[in-house]
């Protein structure tokens, strides 16, 4: 038998465990951590500092620039949980490069994020301003889309409206029984136990009373939301009827039942995060989610507006997202393109059929937006050999005019660009970085977290651009 064996490189585990390692020496020179350490210190972090301006008591807090850099780096690499960030500060060399030998614990990270949620909007604008200064925002095609992001809410902590009515009846009955039992017990034990205040609640009674209160509050939320849902359904029916009348068509089938302004028995609300709604996912299933909206510039996939909504439908989001985009561009000092005469040129805005409504198109055009919104579902990679269409008549509906616009060569090219402008952005966030759900609860907090996620997307674009420039 041959006793020879392969020679291996020298390895001394004991020595390696004691060897001091410098992040600057071990990590690549253009590592994201070093890029953020240099960049964040140059950004305007005044909104973060203002919180501490009037509070001079207690121990000194962690440095604001360090904490912002830590959170931004964590979200950039898909480490969003405060506990995971704190763990990485002890084990990950890039995180150690940011925090040094005095890492914050998970509670400090969590509290910093909660305290400064409003400040992250200002930080989003700071990063957008930087991207604009670097020429990464051209405003040639702003594409709007949304994606369903999971909510921090359990499906097991929810209840339908129909079941709520049964649960309230059951709890009220049980509470009455417990009160009778408590009165009887008090009468029997009064002589033995002495005088009592009479306002103590048994644990079982207290637990049911709390559950009854939460159920009644949840029922009230559904009842408050029902009129808006009914109004939206009526608006949809009116639009469909107006479209049929304009096209000279009759309704097929039976007349729909009258709209009931009360909640449907199957309408649900969640006790963990009441603002989250059941939404259809890409896997054809349903889960509690938020609709994360983004407006992305076509030049280098920079996000210029990011908002979250609890509405599963995109129909009402076209105008608010356009308003948010224009406001952010103005705040970031990014000028709109101009015509030869110096007048502002309408900004092209592309969106899928979920955003189309005649009212939205009319409003967008008044805002100086050139909308290219699909009027019906289109198959991916669908090719057409039809000739250039004839322009519609002046009295044509907004839908007919939009359909014509998207059938022109220019319209086709602009709308087709959506596939490589906005859609990959959600893939980069959800698949590459692994951020598929929000950690915070409530629409306001979720919106702030979505802006934090989107500003880190923009920072990654700026970092990769700087790396490419350095190589070339």
Query: Are the CB atoms for 170 and 376 separated by under 8 Å?
Result: no
Mark whether 461 and 370 lie in a shared domain.
Answer: yes
257 and 112, same domain (yes or no)? no
Quote the number of domains for the chain. 3
**Confidence at 249, pLDDT banded by 50, 70, 90:** confident
Residue 105 pLDDT more than 50? yes
Helices (H) and strands (E) counted in the chain, each on its own, are 17, 8
- Clarify whether residues 332 and 421 are in a common domain: yes
Residues 299 and 350 in one domain: yes
Give per-residue pLDDT as tens, 304-352.
Answer: 999 999 988 898 899 999 999 999 999 999 998 887 777 888 999 999 9
**Same domain flag for 150 and 189:** no
In a domain, 359, yes or no: yes
Could you tell me if 319 and 445 lie in one domain?
yes
Are 242 and 263 contained in the same domain?
yes
Cβ–Cβ under 8 Å, residues 104 and 62: yes
Q: Are residues 400 and 337 in the same domain?
A: yes
Query: Is residue 289 located within the same domain as residue 163?
Result: no
306 domain residue, yes or no: yes
* Start-to-end CA span in the chain (Å): 56
The span from the CA of 187 to the CA of 166, in Å, is 32
Q: Does residue 203 lie within any of the structural domains?
A: yes
Give the end of a domain, one of 85, 116, 147. Answer: 116
Q: Examine the fold and report which residue of 270, 295, 328 is the final residue of a domain before the chain moves on.
A: 270
Q: For a pLDDT cut of 90, what percent of the chain falls above it?
A: 50
Residues 263 and 370 in one domain: no
Domain boundary among 237, 270, 303: 270
| Residue 400 Cα distances to 47, 324, 397, 412, angstroms | 48, 28, 5, 15
Looking at the domain assignment, is residue 146 inside a domain? yes
CA distance 369 to 366: 7
Per-residue pLDDT for 184 more than 90? no
> How sure is the predictor about 385, in pLDDT bands with cuts at 50, 70 and 90?
very low
H-type alpha helices, 146-202: 161-193
Same structural domain for residues 233 and 330?
Answer: no
In a domain, 3, yes or no: no
Residue 4 lies in a domain: no
- Regarding whether 312 and 382 lie in a shared domain, the answer is yes
CA–CA gap between residue 159 and residue 268 (Å, rounded): 6
The boundaries of the domain holding residue 17 are: 13-116
Determine, yes or no, domain membership for 454: yes
Which residues lie closer than 8 Å to 347 by C-beta, 6 or more apart? Answer: 139, 142, 336, 337, 368, 369, 370
CA distance 23 to 98: 9
| φ/ψ (deg, to 5) at 290 | -125, 155
CA distance 244 to 256: 15
Q: Tell me: the pLDDT tens digits for 108-142? A: 999 999 999 999 999 999 999 999 999 999 999 99
372 in any annotated domain: yes
- Model confidence pTM above 0.85: no
């Amino acid at each position: 038998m041959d006793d020879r064996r392969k020679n291996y490189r020298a390895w001394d585990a004991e020595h390696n465990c004691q060897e001091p390692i410098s992040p600057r020496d071990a990590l690549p020179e253009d590592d994201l951590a070093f890029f953020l350490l240099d960049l964040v210190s140059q950004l305007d972090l005044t909104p973060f500092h203002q919180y501490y301006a009037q509070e001079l008591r207690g121990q000194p807090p962690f440095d604001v620039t360090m904490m912002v850099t830590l959170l931004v780096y964590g979200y950039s690499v898909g480490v969003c949980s405060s506990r995971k960030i704190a763990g990485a500060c002890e084990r990950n060399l890039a995180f150690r490069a940011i925090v040094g030998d005095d890492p914050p614990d998970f509670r400090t990270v969590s509290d910093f994020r909660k305290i400064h949620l409003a400040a992250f909007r200002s930080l989003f604008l700071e990063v957008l301003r930087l991207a604009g200064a670097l020429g990464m925002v051209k405003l040639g095609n702003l594409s709007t889309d949304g994606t369903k992001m999971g909510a921090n809410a359990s499906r097991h902590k929810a209840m339908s409206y129909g079941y709520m009515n049964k649960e309230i009846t059951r709890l009220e009955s049980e509470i009455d029984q417990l009160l009778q039992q408590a009165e009887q017990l008090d009468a029997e034990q009064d002589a033995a136990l002495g005088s009592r205040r009479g306002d103590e609640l048994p644990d079982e009674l207290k637990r049911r009373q709390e559950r009854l209160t939460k159920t009644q509050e949840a029922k009230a939320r559904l009842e408050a939301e029902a009129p808006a849902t009914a109004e939206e359904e009526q608006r949809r029916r009116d639009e469909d009827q107006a479209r049929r009348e304009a096209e000279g068509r009759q309704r097929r089938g039976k007349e729909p039942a009258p709209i009931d302004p009360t909640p449907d028995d199957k309408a649900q609300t969640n006790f963990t995060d009441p603002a989250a709604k059941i939404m259809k996912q890409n896997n054809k299933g349903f889960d509690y989610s938020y609709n994360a909206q983004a407006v992305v510039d076509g030049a280098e996939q920079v996000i210029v507006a990011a908002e979250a909504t609890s509405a599963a439908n995109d129909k009402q989001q076209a105008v608010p997202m356009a308003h948010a985009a224009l406001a952010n561009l103005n705040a970031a000092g990014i000028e709109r393109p101009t015509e030869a005469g110096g007048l502002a040129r309408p900004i092209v805005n592309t969106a899928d059929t979920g955003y189309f409504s005649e009212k939205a198109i009319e409003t967008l055009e008044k805002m100086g937006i050139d909308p290219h919104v699909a009027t019906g579902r289109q198959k991916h990679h669908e090719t057409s050999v039809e000739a250039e269409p004839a322009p519609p008549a002046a009295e044509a509906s907004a839908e007919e005019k939009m359909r014509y616009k998207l059938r022109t060569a220019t319209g086709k090219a602009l709308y087709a660009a959506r596939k490589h402008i906005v859609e990959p952005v959600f893939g980069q966030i959800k698949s590459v970085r692994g951020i598929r759900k929000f950690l915070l609860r409530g629409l306001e907090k979720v919106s702030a977290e979505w802006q934090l996620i989107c500003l880190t997307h923009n920072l990654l674009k700026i970092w990769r651009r700087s790396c490419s420039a350095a190589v070339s």
